[in-house]
Every structure is written in structure tokens, then in C-alpha cells.
Amino acid sequence: MSVAVPILRTAEEVRTTVDEWRRSGRTIGFVPTMGALHEGHLSLISKAFDHADSVIVSIFVNPVQFCPDEDFESYPRTIRDDINKLEYAGADAVFIPEKDLVYPEGFSTSVHVSNLTDTLCGKQRPGHFDGVATVCAILFGIVQPDIAVFGRKDAQQLAVIKRMILDLRFDIRIIGADIYRERDGLAMSSRNRYLRPAERMQATALYRGLSRAAELACKGERDTALLCQTARRIIEESPLAVIQYLEIVDQETMKPVESLDAPGLLAVAVHFGKTRLIDNIVIDPGANYKED
């Protein structure tokens, strides 16, 4: 049976709740989200429970991480459904701040993590990671968790947050959670609901392309240009797919690599109509390839 999840609206309510948990000897896990929750988010919550006693989730559609031509206005807001899912997942509290609480009048700070943000999504979405780093720094300051969980689907975001934690000396352990996929391989995303039926069907090409490249790498192929070409060819067999980027990068620096002497990250962004999807796979030349 699921129990009603307390809804916290102010920083004070969050502090009181978290302090109470801590006084009773509990460790605190945090999962920041923008809502429109799906099973992928629930897997982040379950991961947080592997590492902490109490888990708080935030829901905030962060305006400053959207570029001007992006979907901030139309981003799905499904709060009632989200709360039901959080109850089902056993979250201990949900923090749903208003915009003015996060960005009060006079707010003038922006967190910029350099180096990691000039490739992949950082190059395509100028200012996006500043918005992500800024809101996460604010939320971390309010919640003050022991651990926070981020999905590996947003691999560059995970790298940016890990760097920010180190640089700003936040005492928080960042935990990456594996990509949660639909049965046909499509990585779960709040934006999948935008896909029209034909786009949804063709979107499975992303994982097919990534998996084939990973398989070739496991069989000994080290040439990243050839691996990218293979993945690209498979994705482009779907006529509705328009690739924005497809690159193999170093997992920590997010910089392109030419030859795979160590595991790399094959990352892709593809448009299907108005919907932009991202996905990635770790390409490990030393690993045994295993179909999911």
C-alpha cells in the first residue's frame, strides 16, 4: 500500500524535514527532476534508496536551462500523476518550489562549468549546462543531501555535476544510475511522449546503432570514425531521424577521442520531427559484448 508523500513548498519546510531525518540518524538521498516522471525516474529513486535511508525528490521545470527556441512552455507538467508515482516509489518527500523561491527578485548568480560543456549538448544548447549547474547548486544548498542521483542518459550533465561538486566543495556524493530503457531499447525520457507513432517506431534505431558500434568495439575495432560511421548508418536507415551529433568522447572530459585505447562514450542526439532525443553507450574495447 502506498503512503501519501509530504509535499514541501518552501526551503524552510525542506530544512525542517531533512534536519528531523538527520537527527533520527538517517542519511539523505536526493533526486532532482523536472517532473513528467516515468519509470526511469523511479529507477533513480530506487538507486537513491540503495545509498540513503530517506529520499527527497524535487520537481521544478527550470526555465534557465531551456534555450529560447526550446520547449519550456510546452514541457509536460503532470504533477498529480507525478505525486502518485512518487507515492508508489516510496519517496519520503517531494519538494515543489515556485519559480520565485528558486530565483527570487535580484537573483544574479550563474554557475558555469567550463571545459566539459563545449562539446555535445553543451555546443548545441548554449547556456543549458549553466542553467543545470545553477539550479542544482541552489537545490543542493537547500536540501543538503548526503547523496544525489543522476541518470547516465544525460552523461554530460552527470560529468558537469560531478565537476561542480568537486570545484565548489559540496559535501555530496553524486551517483550515476544506468539508462532505463523501454523493452525495444528506447531510452526513457519525458520527451518520448512528444513522438508521433511513426517517429516512436523509428526511434528504436538509436539503441540499435549504438549497440552495433559497441559490439564492433568489443570485437576489437578501435577506430572511432568507423564505429561512428556504423552507428550513423543504422540510425539514418530511419528516414525520420535527423542526427544532430554523434561522437565518441572521453567519459570524464567529454572531449572527442580518435582511437579507443580506453572505454569511451558514444553519444548521440537525434531529432525526430520537433522532438530531440539523446542517448549513449559506453564503448569498451576490453569488454565482452552482451545483448541486453
Piece of the chain touching ligand PAF by CB under 6 A; list 28-36, 74-82, 255-263, 273-281: 28-36
User: Going by C-beta distance under 8 Å and a sequence separation of 6 or more, which residues neighbour residue 58?
Assistant: 30, 31, 32, 33, 94, 95, 96, 97, 139, 143
Out of 34, 94, 165, 214, the residue judged to bind ligand PAF by CB under 6 A: 34
Which region, judged by CB under 6 A, interacts with ligand PAF, from 10-18, 31-39, 166-174, 202-210? Answer: 31-39
Q: Which is nearer to ligand PAF, 152 or 212 (CB)?
A: 152
Nearest to 278 by CA among 161, 156, 159, 136: 156
- CB 161 to ligand PAF: min, Å: 8
Is 62 near ligand PAF (CB under 6 A)? yes
Q: How far is the CB of 226 from ligand PAF (least distance, A)?
A: 32
CB of 102 or CB of 281, closer to ligand PAF:
102
Does 154 interact with ligand PAF (rule: CB under 6 A)?
Answer: yes
Number of residues that bind ligand PAF (CB under 6 A): 10
Smaller CB separation from ligand PAF, 135 or 143: 135
Distance CA 288, CA 226 (A): 19
Q: Compute the least distance from the CB of residue 158 to ligand PAF, in Å.
A: 9
Site residues for ligand PAF, window 206-265 (CB under 6 A)? none
Q: Supply the minimum distance, in Å, between the C-beta of residue 33 and ligand PAF.
A: 5
38 catalytically annotated: no
Confirm or reject binding of residue 174 to ligand PAF (CB under 6 A): no
One DSSP character per residue, the chain reads: ---PPPEE-SHHHHHHHHHHHHHTT--EEEEEE-S---HHHHHHHHHHHHH-SEEEEEE---GGGS-TTSSTTTS---HHHHHHHHHHHT-SEEE---HHHHS-TT--------STTSSHHHHHSTTHHHHHHHHHHHHHHHH--SEEEEEGGGHHHHHHHHHHHHHHT---EEEEEPPPB-TTSPBP-GGGGG--HHHHHHTTHHHHHHHHHHHHHHTT--BHHHHHHHHHHHHHTSTTEEEEEEEEEETTT--B-SB-SS-EEEEEEEEETTEEEEEEEEE-TTSPP---
Q: Does 32 sit near ligand PAF (CB under 6 A)?
A: yes
What mask of x and - would describe binding to ligand PAF in positions 108 to 147, judged by CB under 6 A? ------------------------x--xx-----------
Q: Which is nearer to ligand PAF, 14 or 240 (CB)?
A: 14
Q: Which residues form the catalytic set?
A: 41
Q: What is the binding site for ligand PAF (CB under 6 A)?
A: 32-34, 62, 65, 132, 135-136, 154, 157
